[in-house]
Amino acid sequence: QVQLVQSGAEVKKPGASVKVSCKTSGYTFTSYGISWVRQAPGQGLEWMGWISGYNDDTHYPQRLQGRVTVTTNISTGTAYMELRSLRSDDTAVYYCARDRAIRLGEFAIYDNWGQGTPVTVS
Amino acid sequence: DIQMTQSPSSLSASVGDRVTITCRASQGILNYLNWYQQKPGKAPKLLIFGASSLPSGVPRRFTGSGSGTDFTLTISSLQPEDFATYYCQQSYGSPQTFGPGTKVDVK
């Protein structure tokens, strides 16, 4: 079965960086993308970025451009999300999700999700 | 950015009730609209994609409809496991955006 297993909780100081991993299994990594979504405490969902497992194309929301980087290791089927210059309002649970969009501009559908990684900035 | 709104923001219902949640986009998004269900402390789960398509494994009591700017999610007969928060999401424009959520709780 499809699984996405994320790394554990993190506590960081303001100004630091965090890197969250997402280890996938049960499907062909290069046939899907990976998107990252975060959820601040008691709040809604915010898309943070996407990477193609097929060709490593990436796409980020403008408001996070320059602070977030999404990468993959195809040999291990693992995706990574790094967020820099952390602020208190980056405190959130960070999710990776398997995305049916494999090329830029395709319809994003998050059909399987990781368990979430809490990141606290304090 | 395309803004997504949902109504109501919360509702109270009983098992067996028919529940309808609406989602509106600030501009036309064709049918690039997904619905997710989230339970407390858990990751969201895909319920409907492409406005009206049901992923395998999702019960048929969930239906989605709409196109353009107005969409609905209907639960035909609410079950105990359906008490949760529901989010719509558009991926027609960048950035992809979610609605603020609709919490369905016990009446």
Does residue A1 belong to the interface with chain B, where contact is any CB pair within 8 Å? no
Sheet strands (E) in chain A: 3-6, 10-12, 18-25, 33-39, 45-52, 58-59, 68-73, 78-83, 92-99, 110-113, 117-121
Query: In this predicted structure, what is the pLDDT of residue B41?
Result: 96
Q: What percent of chain A has pLDDT over 90?
A: 98
Q: For residues A54 and A74, give the distance between their C-alpha atoms in angstroms, rounded to a whole number.
A: 9
By Cβ distance, the residue of A44, A97, A114 closest to B87 is A44
Residue type, A56: D
By Cβ distance, the residue of A45, A97, A107 closest to B91 is A107
Does residue A115 belong to the interface with chain B, where contact is any CB pair within 8 Å? yes
Query: In this predicted structure, what is the pLDDT of residue A65?
Result: 86
pLDDT at A60 over 90: yes
Does residue B62 belong to the interface with chain A, where contact is any CB pair within 8 Å? no
pLDDT at A88 over 90: yes
Residue type, A40: A
Low-confidence ranges of chain B (pLDDT < 70): none
Per DSSP, the three-state class of B81 is helix
Does residue B61 belong to the interface with chain A, where contact is any CB pair within 8 Å? no
Does residue B34 belong to the interface with chain A, where contact is any CB pair within 8 Å? yes
Residues of B in contact with A49 (CB under 8 A): none
- Quick check: B50 and B33 in contact, CB under 8 A? yes
Backbone angles phi, psi at A31, to 5 degrees: -95, 5
pLDDT classification of A120: cutoffs 50, 70, 90: very high
